[in-house]
Amino acid sequence: MSAEDTTTVAEDVLEPLARTPHLLVALDFDGTLSPLQKDAMAARMLPAARRAVDALAALPDTTVALVSGRSLVDLRLIAEHGDDSRLWLAGSHGVEFWEPGAGEIEADEDTEEVALRDDLRRRAEAAVAHLDGVWIEPKTFGVGVHTRGTPDAVAAEANRLVDELVTSEAPTWRRRTGHSILEFSFRHEGKDTAVRTLRERTGATAVLFAGDDVTDEDAMRTLGAGDLGVRVGPGETAASVTVADIPALADLLALLAQMRGARPE
């Protein structure tokens, strides 16, 4: 298929989104806009992805949101998100939100679960301290085990140790796996919750959601008629469109911005 043919197919897929009265573009961050990094806090949007995101956010009747498993404070850092940003944020898999012009929307906290979270973090750090390259991430509502760049045997042992600890002490917590991360949360919201909440709060008439990982499939499966799911990279998916990588997604988003910007008023 020629480049021209590919563009024609993309335009056909994007045309309904370009014409919808209010569009929500909800985007995972790690692996979707930013390459995955061994140092999780070193993640940053690729320049082409940033340009496409900014172009969409500048359009009328168009809301752009970053939807991530990261805590809100960490998501703001890696997204280089200032107080004047036009971007909505949904952190901690849809528990924490930041709204342009209003700021953070605080989530309720359970003091007993917070105390248990802090205890399990300390115990998880102690349990994997002998394993080189393993990092325990403090999350607002739980704990994450990062094993990117470690040998398979080391990653498996780290996951086993923390899995056993949390299963024993907090059996009702939600367990999620992703690219070189195992995470647990005492909140059970997922990215499906995040997209549903964003849709309701913004009055969106259609949604584009893009992601690259297992946790993104929660949102993909809840998209309806008139919405568009985009999978970045290989893997089983409920998305209707798959793109090869982050630059390809950036091209798709840039084309959508161009088409939506050219629609008749």
8 A C-beta contact, residue 136 and residue 144: yes
Residue 1, pLDDT > 60, answer no
- Cβ atoms of residues 209 and 230 within 8 Å: yes
Which of these, 196, 229, 195, 236, lies nearest to 214 by C-alpha position? 236
Amino acid letter, residue 25: V
CATH 3.30.70.3460 fits 3-107+189-261, yes or no: no
Radius of gyration (Cα) for the chain, nearest Å?
19
Rounded Cα–Cα distance for residues 228 and 16 (Å): 9
Q: Tens digit of pLDDT for each residue in 151-193?
A: 999 999 999 999 999 999 999 898 988 878 898 988 777 899 8
Buried b (16+ CB within 10 A) or exposed e, 227-259: bbbbbbbeeebebebebeebebbbbbbbbbbeb
Query: Which CATH fold topology does 111-185 show?
Result: Alpha-Beta Plaits (3.30.70)
Residue 80's CB is within 10 A of a number of other CB atoms, namely 10
Per-residue pLDDT tens digits for 232-244: 999 999 999 999 9
Structural domain boundaries in the chain: 3-107+189-261, 111-185
pLDDT tens for 209-227 read 999 998 899 999 999 999 9
With a CB cutoff of 8 Å and minimum separation 6, the contacts of 216 are 28, 32, 191, 209, 210, 231
